[in-house]
Amino acid sequence: MIGSANGVRIGITGLGVNVPDRVVSNDELAEYVDTNDEWIVERTGIRERRMASDGEALTDIALPAAQAALADADADAADIDLLICATVTPDMMFPTSSALMADALGAHEAAAYDLLAGCTGFMYALAQAYGMLASGLSRRALVIGGDVLSSILDWHDRSTLVLFGDGAGAVVMEHVPRGGFLGFELGADGAGGVHLQLPGSGSRHFDQPEALLKMNGREVYKFATRVMVSSATAVLEECGRTIDEVDVYVPHQANKRIIDHAVGKLGVPHERTVVNVDRFGNTSSGSIPLALADARADGRLADGALVLMTGMGAGLTWGSALMEWTEGSGS
């Protein structure tokens, strides 16, 4: 799916993030599996990640992010009429985490649902909220992306345990006077889905109650390096913009090597690229908003800045968005 905005201006007016307090170093993971800090840093760029403590579930981590986004937008939860939570690790399948959070926030007028698109979930959710707002069905949306991947990791599998972390981010989306989203490109390749899956998590594998993440890292790596470039290129073309015009590049934070590959192929200067995989690992649906928040904290999200975001993950799925940041209309 690909498309560009037709004069409709819908942007982000509030941004908030939250990560669990518990910091887990590479050395700590070496107590569970045969690995070491040197291998992890060299092959992934990850130095530490945050992980939920016992009893901490998705909504515990995502709610503070949502509250921060609302405060940032100077918005009242009661004025939110759409709440989408992108996640593969909801508190439970139902009630949905979005419905639970809508209630906790006081967003009693909101349609609320969870969205499942792997690590690309936040990008899909942005596009959905955009469509709802552009059609006039929604007036103010809250989009949350977050995951507690530590809850589905196999703590005996070194090839996956070291890669992931927990965290969440949220944005308020509404009509803005200038700037906003320029276009989206989203895709899915179910044939490659087998390379990153959670067997035992749904109706097909009811005889395998153990639901732990399984990944063929090399295949996902090949997929990732391909789509990070093709998706970004496609959305830029669709919007009639070039990579030279991009002020802030926000790639999914899965592996520093994947980011470096995309940066090289796309030709984005490193100083325009947001990298925080060293501190958070791959936080799945939390990855893009956490990176956006870092870019903002660094002063990079100036008014009018052209921002390119690309995510990819289980499905296999991918998605890009191009937007002009609108500072001041809430954010």
Catalytic center residues: 119, 252, 282
Closest distance of CB 312 from ligand UT7, Å:
6
From residue 264 to residue 303, the character string flagging contacts with ligand UT7 as x (rule: CB under 6 A) and all else as - is ------------------x---------------------
Which member of 116, 211, 221, 256 binds ligand UT7 (CB under 6 A)?
221
Of 157-165, 183-191, 202-210, 231-239, the window that binds ligand UT7 (rule: CB under 6 A) is: 157-165
- Name the burial class of residue 204, with classes exposed (0-12), middle (13-18) and buried (19+) by CB atoms within 10 angstroms of its CB: exposed
CA distances from 328 to 159, 230, 248 (A): 43, 32, 18
Residue 313 is a binding residue for ligand UT7 (CB under 6 A)? yes
Of residues 330, 323, 4, 327, the one with CA closest to residue 180 = 323
Of 97-105, 143-151, 170-178, 210-218, the window that binds ligand UT7 (rule: CB under 6 A) is: 210-218
CA distances from 220 to 64, 157, 204, 224, 308 (A): 32, 16, 23, 6, 22
Which residue number, 29 or 172, has a Cβ lying nearer to ligand UT7?
29
How many alpha carbons lie under 13 Å from residue 93 in its C-beta half-sphere?
A: 3
Residue 113 is a binding residue for ligand UT7 (CB under 6 A)? no
Which member of 32, 39, 64, 200 binds ligand UT7 (CB under 6 A)?
39
Which tokens hold the place of 245? 């015009």
Residue 129 is a binding residue for ligand UT7 (CB under 6 A)? no
Residue 217 is a binding residue for ligand UT7 (CB under 6 A)? yes
Which member of 13, 35, 96, 138 binds ligand UT7 (CB under 6 A)?
35
> Can you tell me the distance from the alpha carbon of 80 to that of 66, in angstroms, rounded to the nearest whole number?
11
Q: How many residues bind ligand UT7 (CB under 6 A)?
A: 20
Partners of 169 in the beta sheet?
A: 17, 145
Which tokens hold the place of 60? 């515990």
Residue 224 is a binding residue for ligand UT7 (CB under 6 A)? yes
Q: Which residue has the tokens 């895709």?
A: 187
Q: What is the DSSP string of 81-145?
A: -EEEEE-SS-SSSSS-HHHHHHHHHT-TT-EEEEE--GGGHHHHHHHHHHHHHHHTS-SSEEEEE
> Can you tell me the distance from the alpha carbon of 191 to that of 254, in angstroms, rounded to the nearest whole number?
21
Which residue number, 82 or 119, has a Cβ lying nearer to ligand UT7?
119
Which member of 68, 69, 254, 293 binds ligand UT7 (CB under 6 A)?
254
Binding positions for ligand UT7, rule: CB under 6 A? 35, 39-40, 43-44, 119, 158-159, 162, 215, 217-218, 220-221, 224, 254-255, 258, 282, 313
